[in-house]
Amino acid sequence: MEFDTRLVNRCSKEHEKIYQQWFNFVDSDGDGCLTGGDATKFLVMSNLPRPDLKQVLLYFVMFVNA
């Protein structure tokens, strides 16, 4: 799956650094890819209620399968 990098290139260098730190934290095996487990662990850290987490994951699945 290809991602539109135009949005990433619009963020400030400071935000880019923060996003990279988050990604590196979540990328458990350091391979540059996130697994479903990596993403789930990261989202659970948000402390969102379970019904809200379920909605986030459903939207993600819809996006990936579109």
Q: What pLDDT, in 10s, does the model give residues 46-62?
A: 888 989 988 888 887 78
Residue 66 to residue 64: CA distance in whole angstroms: 6
Residue 64 neighbours by CB under 8 Å, 6+ apart: 1
Where does the pLDDT of residue 1 fall: very low under 50, low under 70, confident under 90, or very high at 90 and above? very low
| 42 close to 32: Cβ distance less than 8 angstroms | no
Spans of all domains in the chain: 6-65
Q: Would you say residue 11 has pLDDT above 50?
A: yes
Mean pLDDT on 10-22: 86
Task: For tokens 């019904």, name the residue.
Answer: 51
Most confident of 17-26, 36-45, 56-65: 17-26
Confidence of residue 41 (pLDDT cuts 50, 70, 90): confident
Report if pTM > 0.75. Answer: no
